[in-house]
Amino acid sequence: MTATIGIDGNSADYPVRQGSVGPEVIDIRKLYGNTGRFTFDPGFTSTAACESKITYIDGDQGILLHRGYPIEQLAEKSSFLEVAYLLLNGELPNAKEHDEFKYLITRHTMVHEQLATFYRGFRRDAHPMAIMCGVVGALSAFYHDSTDIHDPMQREIACHRLIAKMPTIAAMAYKYSVGQPFLYPDNSLSYTGNFLRMTFGVPAEPYVINPVVEDALDKIFILHADHEQNASTSTVRLAGSSGANPFACIAAGIACLWGPAHGGANEAALEMLRQIGRPERIPEFIARAKNKDDPFRLMGFGHRVYKNYDPRAKVLGEAATKVLDTLGISDPVLDTARELERIALSDDYFIEKKLYPNVDFYSGIILSAIGFPTSMFTALFALARTTGWIAQWTEMMGDSEQKIGRPRQLYTGHPRRDYVPLAQRG
Ligand code: ACO
């Protein structure tokens, strides 16, 4: 099938490519050569920047598939490490492959001892994401033996190192902020259990893992593992397209994720819910969200792709109740969230604009109940999303059509003009 595009009476046919599911895609790579025109698509709302086999989203139906498997099934039945294997390798592991992968990841959980001195260079009140950007970027200075992107073995080791070390790096960022000693990983624990211990344990006493908390956090990690070509993933791909090493690319992804319109939204959502404080104040905030003259938005609501309920928000809404019940926490914020969701979903403004709760709406409530400060929320997102980033980066490195990413622009600045010496300028 082809699509005909005509400009100035000249038309040409362009191939239309069909994915396994989802909309067809018009291949316009020859458009500039044929017409001397670019397309204009800031925010990439109509542009597929790559071909991928990893994740599929149907935003209208509220469907999210990783390698074909629905996110609800993965969140309920799988573990984060299993999902990491799936994203990286394309298939769920069998028992032997699972054990081998677990062994490989576990053997890379420690960080170079010298890296600990990096932390001491930061202020104690530094945001964990500021520390993560710096420390993850610095990994390439420590692991030279896995920065040759043309060597598949080195690429694989870099992937394993990143997945394995992110919990250690994130937990160290937390420990540093509270002035407690860093804890070395305990490889007898699960990926998520180990992270909980490194974060909340102290050397003076044993740390007992609450299985409900471990399970909820593992779910949060699964739900954040990948989300196709979102802003941070596209950042990782763009950085990687120049041949930058994987540690540098992931640091770029972390920087992008930090923004409140992306990963920073879970922090912003909980802060908003706390600011609302009690259900009676909800109408006031709904009115502000609808007011065009007020920059306030309902954080944790709306999504570029989902124009239906974000399936991840559904899983987390249920997990929030379970965790708070288990921990015996009665947090008015959860009541406020449920009521806000109910009121917003019956309000014409939100219905017309198809604004539904997204993954960030409930995750903050769970993370806060577990004991994480809000400043750690995005760091946890980065920990989990590293898996998706590195899977997408690996896929890109194996793509024979891969080119350096180089968007064009619609230039609206001054046309050519001559330099005027300083003394002659009015
Ligand atoms: N509250 C109130 N109004 C909203 C909201 C919101 N949360 N989100 C979108 N709108 C309105 C916009 O004002 C706009 O109205 P208009 O058409 O009258 O101008 C319309 O809905 C479309 O919004 P856009 O910003 O154009 O949609 P876009 O796809 O660019 O933005 C985004 C998506 C950034 C997520 C947006 O919904 C938002 O800012 N949400 C709050 C932040 C948030 O929760 N981010 C997390 C996203 S999920 C993630 O990154 C993991």
Q: What are the mean pLDDT values of the chain's consecutive 10-residue runs (426 residues total)?
A: 91 96 96 95 95 96 96 96 98 98 96 93 94 94 90 95 98 96 96 98 96 94 97 98 96 95 86 91 94 94 90 89 88 89 93 92 91 94 98 96 94 98 95
pTM, 2 dp: 0.92
In short, whether 165's Cβ falls inside 6 Å of ligand 1 is no
Q: What pLDDT does residue 264 have? A: 82
Q: Which atom of ligand 1 is nearest to the CA of 349?
A: 3
Of 108, 226, 303, 310, the catalytic one is 303
Read off the amino acid at residue 165. K
Instruction: Give nearest CA residue, ligand 1 atom 30.
Output: 304
Q: What pLDDT does residue 94 have? A: 98
Q: What pLDDT does residue 329 have? A: 87
Helices vs strands, H then E, count in the chain: 18, 6
Contacts for 321-329: CB closer than 8 Å, 24+ residues apart: 322/212, 322/216, 323/212, 323/213, 323/216, 323/366, 323/369, 323/370, 324/365, 324/369, 326/210, 326/212, 326/213, 327/210, 327/212, 327/213, 327/369, 327/370, 329/369
Task: Say if residues 237 and 405 touch (Cβ distance below 8 Å).
Answer: yes
Residue 354 Cα to ligand 1 middle (Å): 10
Most distant CA pair in the chain, distance: 79
Query: Does the annotation mark 360 as catalytic?
Result: yes
3-state secondary structure of 57: strand
Q: Which atom of ligand 1 is nearest to the CA of 269?
A: 44
In short, whether 286's Cβ falls inside 6 Å of ligand 1 is no
In short, whether 353's Cβ falls inside 6 Å of ligand 1 is yes
Q: What pLDDT does residue 401 have? A: 87
In short, whether 304's Cβ falls inside 6 Å of ligand 1 is yes
Q: What pLDDT does residue 54 have? A: 98
Query: Does the annotation mark 8 as catalytic?
Result: no
Of 360, 399, 414, 418, the catalytic one is 360
Residue 318 Cα to ligand 1 middle (Å): 24
